């Protein structure tokens, strides 16, 4: 399986925080990572692509999105909050059911088999 670094060239100069080994991440599951004092939820999809977004569920105020249910809506990867089941795009962070609510997304990459996240 090939994991593509989807980080644009300008973002490669960012500071990266190691999260975990890519091989330790299960497909369709999330992990929570502390990056520059922020809780970030990192997800690996079945096709091997990584996504990172804020771990804070804006509806419940709980840091739980990393424990959400990964799926798709109209072909776009999503995560449903385990609290109130709102669905967020893993690509954009936009709530599918309420487009006015957006969860911040973060650059994520694999370097030497280690998943890294940048909060910048």
pLDDT over 90 at 71, yes or no = yes
* Residue burial 31-51, b: 16+ Cβ < 10 Å; e: rest: bebebeebebbbbbbeeebbb
In 2-93, the DSSP E strands lie at: 17-21, 29-35, 38-44, 50-54, 69-73, 76-80, 87-89
CA distance 13 to 100: 31
> Can you tell me the mean pLDDT for 62-78?
97
pLDDT at 1: 43
What number of other Cβ atoms are within 10 A of residue 14's Cβ? Answer: 16
Q: For residue 12, name the pLDDT band (cuts at 50, 70, 90).
A: low
pLDDT at 120: 78
> Can you tell me the mean pLDDT for 57-74?
97
pTM across the whole model: 0.87
Please give the mean pLDDT across all residues of the chain: 92
Q: For residue 45, name the pLDDT band (cuts at 50, 70, 90).
A: very high
pLDDT at 42: 98
CA neighbor of 115 nearest in space, from 39, 46, 51: 51
**CATH class of the 16-117 domain in this structure:** mainly beta
């Amino acid at each position: 399986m090939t994991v593509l670094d989807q980080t644009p060239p300008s973002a490669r100069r960012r500071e990266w925080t190691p999260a975990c080994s890519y091989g330790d991440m299960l497909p369709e599951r999330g992990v929570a990572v502390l990056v520059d004092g922020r809780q970030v939820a990192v997800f690996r999809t079945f096709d091997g692509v990584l996504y990172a977004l804020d771990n804070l569920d804006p509806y419940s105020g709980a840091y739980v999105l990393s424990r959400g249910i990964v799926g798709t809506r109209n072909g776009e990867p999503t995560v449903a909050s385990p609290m109130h089941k709102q669905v967020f795009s893993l690509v954009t962070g936009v709530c599918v059911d309420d487009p006015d609510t957006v969860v911040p997304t973060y650059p994520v990459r694999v370097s030497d088999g280690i998943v890294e996240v940048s909060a910048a």
